[in-house]
Amino acid sequence: MIVMKFGGTSVESAEAIERVAKIVASRGKRSPVVVVSAMAKVTDQLVAMGQQASSGNCEVALESLQALRQRHHLTAGELLGKKRAATLAPKLEARFSELENFLRGLAAVRELTPRGSDFLLSFGELLSSLIVADAFIVRGLNAAWVDSRECLVTDASHTRAVPQMAETRERCAKKIAPLISRKQIPLMGGFIAATAQGVPTTLGRGGSDYSAAILGAALDAESIEIWTDVEGMMTTDPRLCPAAKTIKQISFNEAAELAYFGAKVLHPATLLPAIHQNIPVYVLNSRNLKSTGTEITAQAPPSKDTFRAITAKTGISIVNVVASRGIMVHGFLRSVFEALDRHSTSVDIVAISEVSMSFTMETRRLPKALLTELEELADVTPEDKQAIICLVGEDIHGKPGIAASVFNTVAESGVNIRMISQGASEINISFVVQESDVPKAVRHLHEHFFPAAGQVKLGRTKVKTNGSPRRSQAPESKSRQTERKPLVAKSKSAERKAAGAS
């Protein structure tokens, strides 16, 4: 038995749903259970409607409701033909009138609670799953629509509810397993669930992947397939570097690191229920039926390339904090960290020397009040338009020469490095450059670390090989053996040494 999840873009239109039916049909023999998201953008629209209604703009919210209604009926009509669409229409209408009543209620009380928000957002997946189930049936697939709220049990932390696995397992055994034994294809909306008492909840935005992982774990699936609109996880962003290729296999930790540093395909934390049970997760392209995609497992076989992937996260600020004269050094660091704590700021990379400290964080999350507070302690210079480039690979620790070749490659591309971090997680090397330098640096690094088949780049010359690519063996500035887990990033001078920069 396998779980197949299709995201918003995979069910955004009749044409897309048509493709989904074909993909599921191709897996018919493997007893698929299907999870779908709301049609693309619908959840965002529901959020907006909630805000409008609860701030008194009920008419505007109802106009959006009308557009939503038309889109769903239109899609159903295109997929189902007149007769079948006419039998589905009242079921959709029942949901729309429920939604309309709710919006009017919001406008009356002028308040949208987290509990209300979960109820509101549940409509996206309810509507899409009803349409997809009928589209399957019309195409000869023996689909059975299942109400996710009767199967996925969570606690009551609305908007980010936590699954209760034991109860979920029981419910799935009762509601879903019998359908599978009858050779039916259970089909349900992702993202939505309910408490044991039946109060609707959601698993947090983007939560359909989470639903798929929870179901996979609860039903002891052989594998979980996450169908998206890209060719799996890539060695880097193909928009930055057309030579990017699909990563065939990746470990859960590597995938998590990539997501944190900018890869947007999926949120690996949501896969944890499956990973804990050793169920492999595949990320596949719904626009390409033959896609083999990326396999994510708890442990992945070593890659033949040094790294698994390179990501870039833009929109970063560096904040340099230099102690004013006369401040005790240990007191200085403590005060800076306390200030960060008071503002609940989480930083990405930190570099510390005796009297100065630099940290990075997303510019949009940098609180002005934090800067004001730090200015009382020190000289503070924030610099925006920076980016973090991160190279991820589980096999890099304990191997000499890797950092040196990363920084040599960046130096060769003529890009200046502002900050470096290596070792904190053992599976990544990350550094900060100016945002505008990202394409150049990433392209160079990708060319160096992911050479096209049969070619490996050593320094500036390309050498033909007939086996696996060789790695350059330049010594690193410090032995990794004695420096397995530095608490903070390397200093600027170590960086210059390593990069051989002038």
Residue count at the site for Mg ion (CB under 5 A)?
2
End-to-end Cα distance, the chain: 59
38 binds ligand ASP (CB under 6 A): yes
315 binds Mg ion (CB under 5 A): no
Query: For Mg ion, which residue of 2, 7, 226, 480 counts as binding (CB under 5 A)?
Result: 7
Of 77, 74, 11, 67, the residue nearest 38 (C-alpha)? 11
Beta strands 281-285; 294-297: pairing state:
antiparallel
CB of 404 to ligand ASP, least distance (A): 41
161 binds ligand ASP (CB under 6 A): no
CB of 480 to Mg ion, least distance (A): 37
Q: Let me know the angle formed at the C-alpha of 440 by 434 and 443, rounded to the nearest 5 degrees.
A: 130
Instruction: List, in order, residues 6 or more apart from 91 with CB less than 8 Å away.
Output: 130
8 binds ligand ASP (CB under 6 A): yes
Question: Rounded to an integer, what distance in angstroms lies between the CA atom of residue 59 and that of residue 237?
Answer: 42
Residue 207 near which of ligand ASP, Mg ion, none (CB within 5-8 Å, type-dependent): ligand ASP
CA dihedral 74, 78, 82, 88 (to 10 degrees): -60
451 binds Mg ion (CB under 5 A): no
37 binds ligand ASP (CB under 6 A): yes
Contact characters 110-139, ligand ASP, x per CB under 6 A = --------------x---------------
Question: Rounded to an integer, what distance in angstroms lies between the CA atom of residue 432 and that of residue 190?
Answer: 37
Residue 313 DSSP class: E
Cβ closest to ligand ASP, residue 190 vs residue 469: 190
Could you give the maximum distance between any two Cα atoms of the chain, in Å? 82
190 binds ligand ASP (CB under 6 A): yes
Query: For ligand ASP, which residue of 77, 105, 114, 206 counts as binding (CB under 6 A)?
Result: 206
Output phi, psi for 295, to 5 deg: -100, 125
286 binds ligand ASP (CB under 6 A): no
Please, what's the b/e burial string for 303-334 (b: 16 or more CB within 10 A of its CB; e: otherwise)? bebbbbbbbbbebbbbbbbbbeeeeeeeebbe
50 binds ligand ASP (CB under 6 A): no
Residue 451 near which of ligand ASP, Mg ion, none (CB within 5-8 Å, type-dependent): none
Instruction: Say if residues 265 and 283 touch (Cβ distance below 8 Å).
Output: yes
Cβ closest to Mg ion, residue 7 vs residue 200: 7
Interacting residues with Mg ion between 64 and 93 (CB under 5 A):
none
Tell me the residue type at 481: Q
43 binds ligand ASP (CB under 6 A): yes
CA dihedral 342, 345, 350, 353 (to 10 degrees): -20
Residue count at the site for ligand ASP (CB under 6 A)?
12
Stretch that binds ligand ASP, among 132-140, 201-209, 231-239, 320-328 (CB under 6 A): 201-209
191 binds ligand ASP (CB under 6 A): yes
Contact characters 173-212, Mg ion, x per CB under 5 A = ---------------------------------x------
- Strand ranges (E), 342-479: 350-352, 356-362, 378-392, 419-422, 428-434, 455-458, 461-464
Residue 232 near which of Mg ion, ligand ASP, none (CB within 5-8 Å, type-dependent): none
Cβ closest to Mg ion, residue 7 vs residue 189: 7
208 binds ligand ASP (CB under 6 A): yes
Instruction: Say if residues 388 and 363 touch (Cβ distance below 8 Å).
Output: no
CB of 36 to Mg ion, least distance (A): 11
Cα 18 off chain centre by: 26
Stretch that binds ligand ASP, among 16-24, 37-45, 288-296, 380-388 (CB under 6 A): 37-45
Beta strands 356-362; 350-352: pairing state:
antiparallel
Cβ closest to ligand ASP, residue 67 vs residue 329: 67
163 binds ligand ASP (CB under 6 A): no
Interface residues with ligand ASP (CB under 6 A)? 7-8, 37-38, 43, 124, 190-191, 205-208
Interface residues with Mg ion (CB under 5 A)? 7, 206
